[in-house]
Amino acid sequence: MISAGDIRNGITMQYNGNVVQVIEFQHVKPGKGAAFVRVKMKDIINGGVTETAFRPTEKFQLAQIDRKKYQYLYKDGDLFTFMNTEDYEQISISEEEVGDAMKFVKENEEVTLNSFNGKPYAVEPPLFVELEITETEPGFKGNTATGTYKPATVETGAQVQVPLFVEIGDKIKIDTRTGEYLSRA
Residue ranges of the alpha helices (H) in 51-103? 95-98
Domains 65-124 and 128-184 agree in fold: yes
Q: What is the mean pLDDT of the chain?
A: 85
The values of phi and psi at residue 160, to 5°, are -135, 160
In 3D space, the residue among 26, 21, 67 whose CA is nearest the CA of residue 48 turns out to be: 21
Predicted pLDDT at 114: 83
**Contact between residue 75 and residue 81 where contact means Cβ atoms under 8 Å apart:** yes
Average pLDDT over residues 37-57: 86
Q: Which CATH superfamily is domain 128-184 in?
A: Nucleic acid-binding proteins (2.40.50.140)
**What is the reported pLDDT for 145?**
56
For residue 82, the model assigns a pLDDT of 92
CA neighbor of 71 nearest in space, from 122, 105, 96, 118: 105
pTM recorded for the entire structure: 0.69
Which residue type is seen at 113? L
Residue-wise burial string across 14-38, b where 16 or more C-beta atoms lie within 10 A, e elsewhere: ebeeebbbbeebeeeeeeeeeebbe
| Cα–Cα distance measured from residue 100 to residue 97, given in angstroms and rounded to the nearest whole number | 9
- Where do the structural domains in the chain lie, given as residue ranges? 2-62, 65-124, 128-184
The CATH T-level fold of domain 65-124 is OB fold (Dihydrolipoamide Acetyltransferase, E2P) (2.40.50)
Confidence check: pLDDT of 66 > 80: yes
123 touches 110 (CB < 8 A): no
Give residue-wise pLDDT tens across range 90-108: 988 888 778 788 888 888 8
Helices (H) and strands (E) in the chain, counts: 1, 16
How confident is the model at residue 110, as a pLDDT? 92
pLDDT by residue (tens digit) across 140-174? 665 555 678 889 999 988 899 988 888 889 899 99
- The correct answer on CATH 2.30.30.30 for the domain covering 2-62 is yes
pLDDT tens column, 17-45:
888 888 888 888 888 888 888 999 988 87
The percent of the chain in helix, strand and coil, each rounded to the nearest 5, is 5, 55, 40
Please report the DSSP string for 100-166 in residue order.
GGGTTPPTT-EEEEEEETTEEEEEE--SEEEEEEEEEPPP-TT-TTTT-EEEEEETTS-EEEEETT-
